Amino acid sequence: MQKIKNLQNQLQQSIMTSPKKLRDLIREIRAAKTQAEERAVVNKETADIRNNFRDEDSTYRCRNVAKLLYIYMLGYDAHYGQLECMKLIASPRFTDKRIGYLGAMLLLDERTDVHILVTNCLKSDLNHNTQYIAALALCTLGNIASPEMGRDLAGEIERVIKSSNAYLKKKAILCAVKIVRKVPELMEMFIPCTRSLLNEKNHGVLLSAVALITEMCRLSPDTLNHFRKSVPLLVRILKNLIMAGYSPEHDVSGISDPFLQTRILKLLRLLGCHDDEASEVMNDILAQVATNTESSKNVGNAILYETCSTIMDINSESGLRVLAVNILGRFLLNNDKNIRYVALSTLLKVINVDHNAVQRHRSTIVDCLRDVDSTIKKRAMELSFALINENNVRGMMKELLEFIVVCDDDFKADAASNIVAAAEKYAPNKRWHVDTVLKVLTCAGQHLRDDVIYNMCQLVASTSELHQYSVQRLFLALKEDPTQQALSQVACWCVGEYGDILVHGTSEEADPIQISEDEVLDVLEKTLVSSLSSVISKEYALNALVKLSTRFSQTVDRVKAIVHPYASSTDIELQQRAAEFSHLFGTFSELRNGLLERMPLIESKSTLVNGEGEATLSEMEQQADLLGGGGTSPVKSSPLDGLSPPTSTQQSSSVLDLLGDLSSTPAMPATSSLGPSSSGGDILDLLGGTSSTSAPAMNSNPALNNPMDLLSSLGLGTAPTTTPTPNIMSAQPPSMMSYDFTGQGLLGDGTNGEASSIPSMESYNKNGLVINFDFSRQPGSTDLTVTMTAVYNGSTEITDFVFQAAVPKSFRLDLQPPSGNKIAAFGMGNVTQKMLIKNPNKQQLKLRLRLQYKLEGKTVSEIDDVKNIPEATWN
């Protein structure tokens, strides 16, 4: 009796000390009402699990590891369970191995040191007599295979692939896919046995084999050419799937094995790309799939999508491409938002392949602009701009202008810049162009980038027959709504330039409206004093007022009264402008008419649409030109800096640097000067010489004290010659104005004479990114100026674009700052950058490039040697 009681006590004690079951732990964690309660439960349980691991409790090791994996999936640390997983894997029992391999897949990665132990266990279990244990090893290898593990076990995987067991064969093929990704040189081991797999009847094996062939073709062009011979076999398999009757094992919503169909279509797309013979073989089957697949279910839509993508990627017939575009057009009418989004994204990619076929669905695409889903609206907007051409520009612009009025603020900047770019490219006439851009200014004036402002000013300046019409429309729009900053800036600039035409001019294009001088000044003064006006808008208004003092005859005193108080403004830029302008009404009043003449025609530059709402460097320079340099430079410079812009250098690299870390040696920026003889007496000095020389600090030049030099930023047309003027100002605040009067841009090369004619060349063309070089060299000089222009013809913009170059050590390379770091899609924008190369020994020019950019979220890095550089660059 005593023995029975002892056994009962031992049994009761063992029951009380047994660890909690997994289902009890899950129930307890789910019952926790707060995060703190959940942490308390997890901490208590992990402490018990550690104790059991420490006691080497093999009885409940499997249960403890299972609970630990659940805790790990909740986001808690579980790294201390790695060795326990290895002990379970070494166990002979299937239940232990199953939990052990699951733990290995979750807790191990390529960086862990226990991989060697795992490799030995995997090798042993791959040869196990029980297929389910071998399958566990294959699943684990397919998940955590490292390059070393792949090399060690590739032979075992090849052996299993050649076996007759379909259950293990399909898993082994997927392991081969993982190994090929990790160690591409092992690809040759699997090529011989892979082609025979396409004759398998088992759909699981066939699906895995197609995945393996796709991966090998993607990684190796030679393998791609090898498997092009299998196109007829793949076409036959796909045809059998389409024509096959009902099979309950493979049927999904009435379609036979859609997973295998989509995989085969992806492989055919890869094999038929740039190959006429392969494309010809698969044309008929693609037409059958496109016409016989039911589109009422999502399964059918998935197959149709892959079919359309394959048709557009291979060298298919024109009728087949039209069929694919029509299918995508039907997708746009689907109620499912995901299908509509996929259709828009695909049409955006294929528009360059068959533009006319996509044009037929223009009305449906424009309707998507009214969708409530923002992602669909964004894709529809991008596609709408890609559809614009000379024939439909009026209708498309009408729709897009309606869209920009009602769209979210996130879309306005991109939509406005693209509308301006399209109007500039396809405008049927100048008046329509002006009206379109003005509509953009009034609808989205708070969200516009600087490129729109520059282009509108350039457009008005270059259209003399529409000066009164344009200025009148802008003035009335500003009078009605002075809160739109872009509108305020363009209107102020145009009114300042052409205010006399606004008040006194007559034109057949403009309606006869009487506007007085005081009325114009009232509007500009309202812009100046408004708390809603930005500092840049006030600078434009101040410039306009001063220019109107030479265009109006009765309000000069009022202009002076308005400008004078700003000489004590708290904003340094407004203060300096007002101080300098005040001198034009006093001591130097006789110079005012010459200094404030109309600006010469602004050089036309293409609009750069970078898609992210950021103005590039060239756009900031354009803004500086219109303002006289106001407020766009991050560093305040001397007023004389505008006379001869300094050139900045970034790096000088050798060819060998590109093979390493691309280390660079920064160069000191050159300082420009008028020279010791410049006294500011000749007003033509304000135009700046085209050559620049190094000089000491600028404040040592007595010309700094000359107020006439401070007027170099006002924007001159032509100016008279005057006599030297005395020094009347002992100190001036630093100026941000640096206007480029020479027309060479802020990065002008500062050379005299005509450059020698050297043919341009295309230095790089890959994946839609094209880089061209334009060369310029003065006769007899060894210095070469290379202008790099990068254009992208794809459907998605390039961001974070970085261009680097290297030359041999006998050369000297100076890279100037780029115009930006974003390249718009469809060739609608570019990035430019200048290189100054010194070649004192007149050696043959060798150049190596390094490009780095982001495309669709992925970082791309390329190194390339430039070949066939024209001999005229060094001879």
Please compute, for residue 576, the number of CA atoms within 13 A of its CA located in the half-sphere on the CB side.
24
State how far the Cα of 756 lies from the Cα of 873, in Å rounded to an integer: 9
| Joined tokens for residue 854 | 């982001």
Here the contacts of 347-350 (C-beta below 8 Å, separation 24 or greater) are 347/383, 348/379, 348/382, 348/383, 348/386, 348/795, 349/312, 349/795, 350/308, 350/312, 350/321, 350/324, 350/325
Q: What per-residue confidence (pLDDT) applies to 7?
A: 63
Burial of 724 (0-12, 13-18, 19+ CB in 10 A): exposed
Which residues, 6 or more positions from 295, have their beta carbon under 8 angstroms from its beta carbon? 301, 304, 327, 330
Cα–Cα distance for residue pair 363/529, rounded to 1 Å: 46
pTM of the model: 0.64
> pLDDT tens for residues 521-540?
999 999 999 998 999 999 99
Q: Give the per-residue pLDDT at 845.
A: 87
Encode 95-130: b = buried (16+ Cβ within 10 Å), e = exposed: ebbbbbbbbbbbbbeeebeebebbbebbbebbeeee
Strands in 847-855's sheet, in edge-to-edge order, are 798-806, 847-855, 858-866
Residue in this structure with the two tokens 């076409």, named with its chain if needed = 235
Task: Look up residue 415 and give its two tokens.
Answer: 């939509």
* Cβ count within 10 A of residue 572: 13
How far from the centroid of its chain's Cα atoms is residue 334's Cα? Answer: 30
pLDDT digits 0-9 by tens, 551-602: 888 888 899 999 999 999 999 999 999 999 988 888 888 888 888 988 887 6
Inter-residue contact 471 to 456 (CB < 8 Å): no
Low-confidence ranges of the chain (pLDDT < 70): 1-2, 5-17, 110-113, 445, 505-511, 602-756
Taking the C-alpha atoms of residue 592 and residue 377, their distance in angstroms, rounded to an integer, is 52
In degrees, rounded to 5, the angle at the alpha carbon of residue 583 between the alpha carbons of residues 580 and 587 is 155
Three-class SS state of 59: coil
Helix (H, G, I), strand (E, B) or coil at 110: coil
Which pLDDT score is estimated for 706? 38
pLDDT value, residue 745:
34
- Say how far apart CA 873 and CA 846 lie, in whole Å: 11
CA 158 to CA 554: how far, in whole Å?
95
Per-residue model confidence (pLDDT) at position 869 = 87
Query: Are the beta carbons of 545 and 497 closer than 8 angstroms?
Result: no
How many C-beta atoms surround the C-beta of residue 230 within 10 A?
17
pLDDT, position 674: 31
Q: Which DSSP symbol is given to 670? A: P
Tokens of 405: 């009025």
| Residue 93 confidence (pLDDT) | 92
End-to-end distance of the chain based on CA atoms, in angstroms?
Answer: 114
Helix, strand, or coil here: 553? Answer: coil
Angle at 87 between CA 82 and CA 90, to 5 degrees: 130
Backbone angles phi and psi of 197, in degrees to 5: -65, -25
Residue 770 in 3-state DSSP?
strand
Closest to 108 measured CA to CA, from 143, 75, 142: 143
In whole angstroms, what separates CA 420 from the centre of its chain? Answer: 20
